[in-house]
C-alpha cells in the first residue's frame, strides 16, 4: 500500500514547548500519527532536535522548520513509496538527511514520520501497533519503573539526583504492579505532607524534591514504601537515575545541593555506599556519559546485584551500545526513540541489547505527549521494562493505561515476569520473603 500524503503540525509537549506531530496517510485512506517527545537532560551524543532558534517565538523553541521539512522534502521523497516497509522507509529518511546525527532535516522531523508510518501500517493491517511491530510475537507486559521524586534538570536543580523511583518486586501481574506503585506514590504524598514538604510535582510528575541532601531522598523514599505497607528491598525496590552527565564538569562530579565535588572513583564509591545502605536495585547513568572507565569499575563492583542502565551513556545508538558490550560498561540500555530518530534503528538497538544478554528499558522523555507509542514498543519487543516518569499527569498515565489495554487485548497470551527480567542479565536480587 502506497503512501498518499504526508503532513505535519507544530503541537505542544507536556512542558508546553513546541514539538512535532506528523501524519502519514496511505492510499487506502488509513492513516497514522507520530507525536515526538523531547528531553531536558539530553546526552551529548543524541540525534539532533531541530529548533528554529528565533528568540521572538517560543524563546527559540518553535519547530516550524522541522514541520516544513516534513511537508516539503520528506513528503516528496516518500509519497508513492510502500508504506508498510518500515525499514525501507526509515533508510530513505536516513539517506535523505545525510548527516550522522540527523541534524539537517531534524531527528524530530524524521522520527515523527517514522512513528506515523508505523501507526499507518498497523491501521492498514487492522491490528494494534504492538502486534504490527512484532508480527504478533510481543506478549510481555513491562515491569513498571515509577518516579516518586523528580530532581535534576526536571526540578530546576533543586536536588542533584534526577529520578528517585520505585519498582514492585513481588507483584504477579502488570495491573498488580501498578497498584503497588500507586500505593507508594500516594504514601509518599502523606510523608511529604507530614514533613511540610509537599510542594507540587516536577516535570515527570514526581513530587518536588524538598530535601536538604540527596541521601534524604533515599531515606524518605524508603519511609514512603513502608508507609504504603510494603517491605523495602523484598516487596518494593528503589531505582535511581543519577543523570550523572549533568553533574560532571571540569573533570569532576558535583553535588550542588551539598556543595561537594568528587573525582570519578570517589563518586563511584559514594554510589556503591548508597547501594549498600538502601534497597537500590537499578542505577541509571550513575557515571557521566563518556566516563567509560568509571562505568567499567561500577559494573565490576555492582553488576551482579544491580541493574546498571546506560541512558546518556548509550543514547540508543548501536555503535555506543557495541562499545559498551565490548568493554562491559553496563548491563542494561535505556531506549528512547528520539535519541536515535527512527523506529528501525530503535528496534535494532533493542535487539542487539537483548542478543548480548543485557536488558532494554523502554523510556519516555521528560517532555512527553499523549502518544502511547512506547507502551506498544515495550510489549512488541518483549523488553520487559518501561519507564515513563511518575504516576500522575495525563501524558504519563497515557502510557501506563495503554499497557492495561494491551494486557486486556492479549488476554491469556499476556505474560508478566516483573523483576525476573533482570535474571537474564545476571543480576541477582534478594529473594522476596
- Full 3-state SS string of the chain: CEEEEEEEEEEECCCCCEEEEEEEEECCCCEEEEECCECCCCCCCCCCCCCCCCCCCHHHCCCHHHHHHHHHHHHHHHCCCECCCHHHHHHHHHHHHCCCCCCCCCHHHHHHHHHHHHHHHHHHHCCCHHHHHHCCCCCECCEEEEEEEECHHHHCCCCCCCEEEEEECCCCCHHHHHHHHHHHHHHHHHHHHHCCCCCCECCCCCECCCCCCHHHHHHHHHHHHHHCCCCECCCEEEEEECCHHHHEECCEEEEHHHCEEECHHHHHHHHHHHHHHCCEEEEECCCCCCCHHHHHHHHHHHCCCCEEEECCCCCCCHHHHHHHHHHCCCCEEEECHHHHCCHHHHHHHHHHHHHCCCEEEEECCCECCCCCHHHHHHHHCCCCEEECCCCCCHHHHHHHHHHHHHHHHHHHHCECCHHHHHHHHCCCCCCCC
- 341 touches ligand PGA by CB under 6 A: no
> Binding segment for ligand PGA among 80-88, 192-200, 360-368, 394-402 (CB under 6 A)?
360-368
Q: Pick the binder of ligand PGA from 41, 62, 69, 139 (CB under 6 A).
A: 41
Partner that binds at residue 365, options Zn ion, ligand PGA, none, CB closer than 5 to 8 Å by kind: ligand PGA
363 contact, one of ligand PGA, Zn ion, none, CB 5-8 Å limit per kind: ligand PGA
Q: Is 339 in the site for ligand PGA (CB under 6 A)?
A: no
Question: Minimum Å distance from CB 353 to ligand PGA?
Answer: 16
203 contacts Zn ion (rule: CB under 5 A): no
Among 139, 363, 381, 390, binds ligand PGA (CB under 6 A): 363
- Residue closer to Zn ion (CB basis): 130 or 365: 365
Q: Which of 14, 30, 42, 62 binds ligand PGA (CB under 6 A)?
A: 42
Residues 236-265 that bind Zn ion (CB under 5 A): 241
Shortest distance, CB of residue 203 to ligand PGA, whole angstroms? 7
Q: C-beta of 6: minimal distance to ligand PGA in Å?
A: 27
| Stretch of residues binding ligand PGA (CB under 6 A), selected from 38-46, 95-103, 115-123, 391-399 | 38-46
Report if residue 241 touches ligand PGA, rule: CB under 6 A.
yes
Least distance to Zn ion, CB of residue 245, Å: 9
* Site for ligand PGA, residues 123 to 162, rule: CB under 6 A: 162
**Mind telling me the catalytic residues?**
204, 336
Question: Among residues 84 and 111, whose Cβ is nearest to ligand PGA?
Answer: 111
Shortest CB 417 distance to ligand PGA, Å? 23
Can you give the binding site for ligand PGA, defined by CB under 6 A? 39-42, 162, 241, 243, 311, 363, 365-366
Can you give the binding site for Zn ion, defined by CB under 5 A? 241, 284, 311
Amino acid at each position: 500500500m502506497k503512501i498518499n500524503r504526508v503532513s505535519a503540525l507544530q503541537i505542544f509537549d507536556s512542558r508546553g514547548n513546541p514539538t512535532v506531530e506528523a501524519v502519514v496517510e496511505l492510499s487506502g485512506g488509513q492513516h497514522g500519527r507520530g507525536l515526538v517527545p523531547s528531553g531536558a537532560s539530553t546526552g551529548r551524543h543524541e540525534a539532533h532536535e531541530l529548533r528554529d532558534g528565533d528568540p521572538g517565538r517560543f524563546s527559540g523553541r518553535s519547530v516550524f522548520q522541522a514541520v516544513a521539512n516534513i511537508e516539503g522534502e520528506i513528503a516528496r521523497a516518500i509519497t508513492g513509496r510502500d508504506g508498510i516497509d518500515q525499514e525501507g522507509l526509515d533508510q530513505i529518511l536516513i539517506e535523505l538527511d545525510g548527516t550522522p546525527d540527523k541534524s539537517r532535516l531534524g531527528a524530530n522531523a524524521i522520527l515523527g514520520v517514522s512513528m506515523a508510518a508505523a501507526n499507518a501500517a498497523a491501521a492498514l493491517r487492522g491490528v494494534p501497533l504492538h502486534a504490527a511491530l512484532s508480527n504478533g510475537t510481543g506478549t510481555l507486559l513491562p515491569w513498571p519503573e515509577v518516579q516518586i521524586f523528580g530532581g535534576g534538570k526536571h526540578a530546576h536543580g533543586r536536588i542533584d539526583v534526577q529520578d528517585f523511583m520505585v519498582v514492585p518486586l513481588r507483584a504477579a501481574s502488570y495491573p498488580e504492579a501498578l497498584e503497588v506503585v500507586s500505593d507508594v506514590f500516594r504514601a509518599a504524598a502523606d510523608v511529604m505532607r507530614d514533613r511540610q514538604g509537599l510542594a507540587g510535582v516536577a516535570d515527570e510528575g514526581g513530587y518536588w524534591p524538598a530535601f536538604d541532601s540527596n541521601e534524604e531522598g533515599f531515606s524518605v523514599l524508603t519511609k514512603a514504601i513502608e508507609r504504603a505497607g510494603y517491605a523495602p528491598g523484598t516487596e518494593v525496590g528503589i531505582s535511581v537515575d543519577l543523570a550523572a552527565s549533568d553533574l560532571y564538569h571540569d573533570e569532576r562530579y558535583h553535588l550542588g545541593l551539598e556543595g561537594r565535588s568528587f573525582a570519578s572513583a570517589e563518586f563511584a564509591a559514594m554510589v556503591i555506599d548508597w547501594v549498600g545502605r538502601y534497597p537500590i536495585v537499578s542505577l541509571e547513568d550513575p557515571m557521566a556519559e563518556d566516563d567509560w572507565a568509571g562505568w567499567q569499575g561500577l559494573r565490576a563492583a555492582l553488576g551482579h546485584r544491580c541493574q546498571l542502565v546506560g541512558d546518556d551513556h548509550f543514547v540508543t545508538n548501536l555503535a555506543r551500545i557495541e562499545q559498551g558490550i565490548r568493554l562491559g560498561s553496563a548491563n542494561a540500555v535505556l531506549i528512547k526513540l528520539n535519541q536515535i530518530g527512527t523506529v528501525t534503528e530503535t528496534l535494532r538497538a533493542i535487539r542487539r541489547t537483548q542478543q548480548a544478554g543485557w536488558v532494554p528499558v523502554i523510556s519516555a522523555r521528560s517532555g512527553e505527549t499523549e502518544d502511547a507509542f512506547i507502551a506498544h514498543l515495550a510489549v512488541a519487543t518483549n523488553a520487559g521494562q518501561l519507564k515513563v516518569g511518575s504516576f500522575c499527569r495525563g501524558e504519563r498515565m497515557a502510557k501506563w493505561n495503554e499497557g492495561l489495554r494491551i494486557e486486556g487485548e492479549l488476554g491469556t497470551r499476556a505474560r508478566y515476569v516483573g523483576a525476573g527480567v533482570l535474571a537474564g542479565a545476571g543480576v541477582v536480587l534478594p529473594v522476596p520473603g
